[in-house]
Each structure stands twice: as structure tokens, then as C-alpha cells.
Chain A
């Protein structure tokens, strides 16, 4: 499954952020996944338990936030919450809609401990 590729891409981004932030370790990673992103949160979790080994996120927790699917109608302008295989406007029934939420695949936030924080608190 491609969840492993997605997970590796995520870890590359996390390591980049950790380096820039002078992190000692990463404790929590939050991703936002829509049902139309084509990535299954459970499979991403499984991939993460394998892929995180040896990275700065080896001890981190992965949190996946699922987004609801919402479409905006190009015909009548109404917005509706819909199912992944029924993306029609609930107000007028038109199929010409645009997905405004539910297809995202985002790294939302990274929680980390800084190296410098530790030094800062240490008595001189």
C-alpha cells in the first residue's frame, strides 16, 4: 500500500522541521486526512510504527484527524455534508459541485522538545 510512501514523505518533512527547530525529539505529529485523499488512516498508523524507527520521531505519537466531506454547489451555491460516493448537492441535486473539504492530506502540526530549551533551563 502507498501509505508507506506517504508516511516516508511525512517523516522527511518532520525531520526537516525538527532540524530547523533544533529539536531533540519529536513527540507528536498531527495529520489531517480527508476521506477523499485516498489514504487510509489506520494503514498510515501501521506504516508509521515501522517507518518511524531510527528517525527523530521514533518515540512520537501520530494523530490523524479526519475531515468531513463538504461540497459547494456550482448551480445553486448551497453547501452540503456528503458521503464519499455521493458528492451531489443536497439542496438541488445537481452533480456539478466542488469539494471544499474532505480531500486534504496535510501535515498539520509537529510537537517537539528543543535542544536549546533544555540548555536554557540548566543552571549555569
Chain B
């Protein structure tokens, strides 16, 4: 399970290994073993290690999720233009096929590792671990992870990031947060993107989209942005700088952070 540290006992599974699981004999002689173990505990364990790596190298890791084509890469391009003099940026790109997105990022002078998942429609913590060892984390302040374009699966897999950002473009409809509650509930910041198109798409009401997000008990900021016109990017960039400051304060106190709705009971770190 854990190649780097050699451990394979987690908070989540130790009761299995220690023979703690409750046993019950059914009438036909079968044994029923009661478990209560998170199905993704192995992924979550690896994610905890990834988070330790990021923290040890003072890196803030941000996971970007959205439908295909909502503007994740374009947002990264604008973000790099705005921040690259001030912060050192690295990017992990997840796509089913092609190196296109990584090449767009490299064209901006920023190092990018492309993960091509083939058939897997989301990134998982093991893929991120492989990718982060291809990077020099000491020369990075912010690591962006662009997840595979998919409004369903990415929300279920912790990667070791500190914060989640979910994008919704105005071409997708303002009811999406109600239809895909899991991924919007996971957001620490919701970006409504391509606001420049609102002029021609008058049936998208940003207030309705925001209200659908609030119905999910999400307190996170909802910002209206356009990577094309630059509208609202100041909100996004100042949030990001705030996150960088918070991360350096946390690190000076030896603390870390998980995205707001990290699965219940999940450990921040996998070992003390």
C-alpha cells in the first residue's frame, strides 16, 4: 500500500488487522464480520501522504474540478500571467488523453506534469503521488491540480490538496449545483466562469446559481469571473493569495488543512 514509508496500517484499517472486528455466527454456520471501513481508505491514506509532502515543502495545493471545457486551463493561464512574478507555480494536469493542457501551461513558462488517465475519469491519490515525485516541490509555492473534466467522480477522491475549487461556466446552466450536489458541496470556492458570455446567454442567472450553491449548505465564496475579459479575476486572485498566507501561517504552527468537506473521520496526516 505505502511504498514510500513502508507502513500499511492506517487509523482506518488497524482494527481489521488487530482482530478487533466484531464477529457473529449466522445460523447456517457462516461468519459475519462487522467492519465499518471507508471504502476509499487506501486512497485517503495515500492522499494523507501527499499532503505531508506538500506541507514539508511549504506548497499550497489546489484542486480544480469542473465539467469538460468549463475553463480550468484558461483560468490557470490567466492566473499564471497574474501571479508568476510573485509566486512560483507548478501544475499537474489530468486528462483522459493528450498532453495539450500541459503544453498550454508550459508555454507560459511554468512546469507542468501531465497525467493521462486513459479510461479513468478522475485523478486519484496514487496518480498524484507519482506526479509529485516528478516535480521539484522546493521550487514551487502553489501547485494547481487540474482534475479530469467531469462533474461527478473527482469529488470522491481526496488527492492530498488543501483546497477545492469547482468551476461552472455560464453555458452549462444555473441549475447545475442542484443536479450535481456532491461536487459543488466539496468546493471551498465556486467560480462561475465565462461571464463575458452572459451578454448573449441571458437565461443564466448568476444569482440563481449562487442560491443553488447555498442550498447545499456551502458558505464558500461564489465569484463571477471571465478569464477572457478579466472580470472578477481580482476576487479569485485575492482569495488565492489569502490561501497562500494561511498556508504559511499553518506551516509555521505545524498544522495542515483539508478541503472543507473531507470525508468524516479522515486523518489529516496518516502518521502522527
- Cβ of A69 to closest chain B Cβ, rounded Å: 10
Q: Residues of A contacting B178 with CB < 8 Å?
A: 85
Interface flags, A99-124, vs B, CB<8A=1, else 0: 10001111111111110010001000
Q: Which residues of A contact B31 (CB under 8 A)?
A: 21, 23, 111-114, 117
- Decide yes or no: A20 and B215 within 8 Å by CB, A6-B39, A9-B40, A113-B30 being known contacts: no
* Residue from A20, A99, A109, A114 with most neighbouring chain B CB atoms (10 Å): A109
**Distance of A116 Cα from B71 Cα, bound (Å):** 58
- Chain B residues with CB under 8 A of A110: 32-33, 35
Closest chain A CB from B40 CB (angstroms): 6
B90, CB-defined interface residue at 8 Å: no
- Whether B185 and A10, one on each chain, are in contact in the complex, defined by CB atoms closer than 8 angstroms, is no
Is the beta-carbon distance between A106 and B39 smaller than 8 angstroms?
yes
Question: CA–CA, A117 to B177, complex, Å?
Answer: 52
B-side contacts of A31, CB under 8 Å: 39
Quote the shortest CB–CB distance from A109 to chain B (angstroms).
Answer: 5
Select one of A17, A84, A99 contacting B16, CB under 8 A.
A17
Chain A residues, Cβ within 8 Å of B35? 13, 17, 106-110
Which residues in B have their C-beta under 8 angstroms from that of A86?
215
Contact A105 B30 (CB under 8 A): no
Interface size class of A (residues with CB under 8 A): 35 or more
Q: Which residue of A lies closest to B124 (CB)?
A: A5
* A window 5-38: CB within 8 A of B: 5-6, 9-10, 12-13, 16-17, 20-21, 23, 27-28, 31, 36-38
Residues B216 and A105 in contact, CB atoms below 8 Å apart = no
Residues on the A chain within 8 Å of B19, using CB: 20
A57 at the interface (CB under 8 A from B): no
Known contacts A99-B217, A113-B30, A105 near B38 by CB under 8 Å: yes
* A2, A23, A106: the one within 8 Å of B37 (CB): A106
Q: Say yes or no: A88-B217 contact (C-beta < 8 A), given A2-B122, A37-B156, A105-B156.
A: yes
Considering only residues 205-221 of chain B, those with a C-beta below 8 Å from chain A are 212, 214-219
Task: Write out, one digit per residue, whether chain A residues 64-78 have a CB within 8 A of any chain B CB (1) or not (0).
Answer: 000000010000000
- Whether B181 contacts A13 by the Cβ 8 Å rule is no
User: How far does the alpha carbon of A84 sit from the alpha carbon of B214 in the complex, in Å?
Assistant: 12
Q: Could you say which residues of chain A place their CB within 8 Å of the CB of B39?
A: 6, 9-10, 13, 31, 39, 105-107
The answer to whether A104 touches B156, judged by C-beta atoms less than 8 angstroms apart, is no
- List residues of B (181-221) whose CB comes within 8 Å of A's CBs: 181-183, 185, 212, 214-219
Chain B's closest residue to A97 (CB) is B217
Query: What is the distance, in angstroms, from A86's C-beta to the closest C-beta of chain B?
Result: 5
CB of A1 within 8 A of CB of B38, answer no
Q: Is B157 an interface residue (CB 8 A)?
A: yes
A106 to B12, CA, bound (A): 11
Q: Which residue of A lies closest to B30 (CB)?
A: A111
Tell me, yes or no, whether B155 is within 8 Å of chain A by CB: yes
8 contacts between A and B (CB under 8 A): A2-B153, A13-B16, A13-B42, A28-B32, A87-B215, A104-B38, A107-B39, A109-B34
Residues of B at the A interface (CB closer than 8 Å) are 13, 16-17, 19, 21, 26, 29-43, 120-122, 124, 152-153, 155-157, 177-179, 181-183, 185, 212, 214-219, 261, 263-264
